[in-house]
Amino acid sequence: MSQPLRLGIAGLGTVGTGVVKIVRQKAALLEARSGRPIAISAVSARTRAKDRGVSLDSYAWEDDPVTLATRDDVDVFVELMGGSDGPAKAAVEAALKAGKDVVTANKALLAHHGQALAELAEASGSVLRFEAAVAGGIPVIKALTEGLAGNVIIRVMGVMNGTCNYILTRMEDGGLTYDAAFAEADALGYLEADPTLDVGGIDAGHKLSLLAAIAFGTQVSFSGVELEGIGKVTIDDIKQAADMGFRIKLLGVSRMTGRGLEQSMAPCLVPASSPLGQLSGGTNMVVIEGDQVGQIVMRGAGAGEGPTASAVMGDVMDVARGLRVSTFGQAASKLVPAVPAKATTPAPYYLRTQLADKPGALAKVAAALGEAGVSIHRMRQYDHVEDRAPVLIVTHKTTRAALDQALEAMQKLAVVVAAPVALRIEEV
C-alpha cells in the first residue's frame, strides 16, 4: 500500500474547515484519483475550543503554526491563516526551509513576498502552490502554468472580487445607490474586516499581480498595479452606461507592452452582451488571450467554503501525484523584474459630465476634446435638471494621456458644472 500524503493545516476558518471535510468525506475518491491516501496529521488555529462543525479529535493540535509546519509527520503544510506577514509568512518560510511542500490560499502573502518564497521553494526542492489564492474555485493558475504553457499570453483580465461584482450588480438590478448596496453586502457578511481590501481593489489587485507574473514571466509586482476602487461609481453611471449598451465592472487587465508590464485594477465598462457584461452577483470570471488558443473564458464561484477548499485540494492532489511545477510556471531564478508601465494602450472611454443650459455648451466641450486629439464616437444628452444637462460621451480609441489633457481643459470651461467622470471601455 502506498504511503499516505500527510497534511498539516494551519487556519480552521471557512476554508480550512472545508478542506477537513473533503479529506474526511471523500477519502476513497481522493485515494483513487491520486494513487495514495490523503491524511491529516495535525492542525492549528487561534482558538482550539471553537465548534467548527467537524471533529478534529483524531488530529494532533499545535498552538504555534511554525511548529506545525516543521513536524516530522507533515509532508504538506496547508496555510489558510491569511495575512501578508506575521505567523503565515513565518510558518510558510519554516515549512519550505524544512523541505516541506506548501499549499496556500494567501494572495496577500504571495503578492508581497512571492518571489522570495518561490526562490526558497526552489532552493529547498519543494513546491509552493496557490490555486486557491486567485478566483476561488476557478482553476486559472493551473490553466496558465500547464494548459496554456504553449502560448504566448497576450492579455489577462477578469472580475476577481465577488463582493465588488455583487455591489455593482445590486446597484443596477435594484436601483440602489453605492452606499445602500455596500450596506447590503456588509450585512450579508461579504466584506473583509477592512472593506477597502474589497471595494478599494486591493484584494483583486493582489490576484492580478499573481496572474501577470505567470502570464508574462516576471517577478510578482503588486506595487506596479494601478488601483482604483468602485467608491466613485454612482447609480447614474450604472444606469447611463446600461443605456449606452455597457455594464460597469471592477476589471483587472494586464498586458506586456514595449514599455513594460501594464497592470490595472479599476472600474471599466464592458459590452453588456459580452461574457464579462453578463456576469452577475458574487461570481468571478477570468479571460486569458493566447497567441495559439485565442480567448479562453473561465467563470465560477470566487469564494466560499466549497469552491476555495476545492482549489486547495486540487493542489494537494497534484502533490500526491508527484507533479512538481515551479511556483510561477518557470524557475524563480529565470523570472525577470517587472518594468511597470502605465496603462496607456489606446482604448475608448466613457465620459459623464453636466453642462450649463447655455447655447454652444456642447460645442465648447467637443472643441476641448478635439484639441487634445480625442475623437467623439457617440454622444447623448439627457433632459435638463434645473439649469444643467447631463451629457454622456463615448470616445473613439485614445490614450489616457490625451484624455487627461482633454479633461483638464474641460474643467476650465465655465459651461462644465460638474467634474467629468472618465471610465475606460475594455473591448472583450
Would you please indicate which residues are annotated as catalytic (active-site) residues? Answer: 207
CA distance 161 to 203: 7
CA distance 391 to 420: 10
Q: How many CB atoms lie within 10 A of CB 124?
A: 17
Maximum Cα interatomic distance, the chain, rounded to a whole number of Å? 86
In this structure, which amino acid lies at residue 60?
A: A
**Contact assessment for residue 68 and residue 102, using Cβ atoms and an 8 Å cutoff:** no
- Tell me how far CA of residue 301 lies from CA of 283, 284, 314, 332, 339, in angstroms: 5, 6, 15, 30, 32
CA distance 198 to 282: 12
Give the DSSP per-residue string, 153-210. EEEEEEE--HHHHHHHHHHHHH---HHHHHHHHHHTT-S-SSTHHHHTSHHHHHHHHH
How far is CA 185 from its chain centroid? Answer: 18
* C-alpha cell recorded at residue 381: 444628452
Where do the DSSP E strands lie in 245-363?
246-257, 260-271, 283-290, 294-301, 340-341, 349-356
CA distance 320 to 246: 45
User: Cell numbers 447609480 correspond to what residue?
Assistant: 235
Taking the C-alpha atoms of 257, 246, 293 and 159 in order, what is their torsion angle to the nearest 10 degrees? Answer: 80
Q: Phi and psi dihedrals of 264, rounded to 5? A: -135, 130
DSSP count for the chain of H helices, then E strands: 14, 17
**Computed over its alpha carbons, how large is the radius of gyration of the chain?**
24
